[in-house]
Amino acid sequence: MPRINLLPWRESERKRKRQEFILSIGAAIATAALVTLLGRWQMGAAIEHQNDRNRIISEEIAELDKQIQEILGLENQKRRLLARMEVIETLQRSRPEIVHIFDEVVRVLPEGVYLTYLKQSGTRFEIRGVAQSSTRVSAFMRNIDGSEWLADPSLQ
């Protein structure tokens, strides 16, 4: 049997396999690097997109805050107007009352009593004047007590 030396062939086969192995490792590293770069690029794009969305949302929030402040200002203005309307309505309702009060004061005022001062504070009236005698003051107080528009007289 002839002897064939297979060592150089094996050696070249090992060299070829080693080169293929190194080449496949290089390809795997290149593929991993490419996947990593693509992943970073995609994540960067996603982060940029999210930052854009966050900026838009922040701008919308700022706009809504302005609108809320405007609404609060309008609500304050509405409250002030309603308070004014209430005061006007109260004055409108009480307008005929003062006419009745003046009419009633004239009716209950006896002769010999002269008024010098009349002041209204809410529902109370302060009346000052001069009388010819204390009897006339007593008659005035009785007339006030019997009046339907005036009540609870107090003498000082």
Count of C-beta atoms within a 10 Å radius of residue 131: 16
Q: How far apart are CA 135 and CA 119, in angstroms?
A: 24
pLDDT at residue 7 greater than cutoff 80: no
Indicate the burial class of 149 (C-beta count within 10 angstroms; 0-12, 13-18, 19 or more): middle
Whether the pTM exceeds 0.75: the reply is no
Q: What is the pLDDT of residues 14-49, one digit of tens each?
A: 899 999 999 999 999 999 999 999 999 999 999 999
Residue carrying the six token digits 């009633």: 104
Nearest to 147 by CA among 116, 113, 106: 106
Residue-wise pLDDT tens digits, 47-68 = 999 999 999 999 999 999 999 9
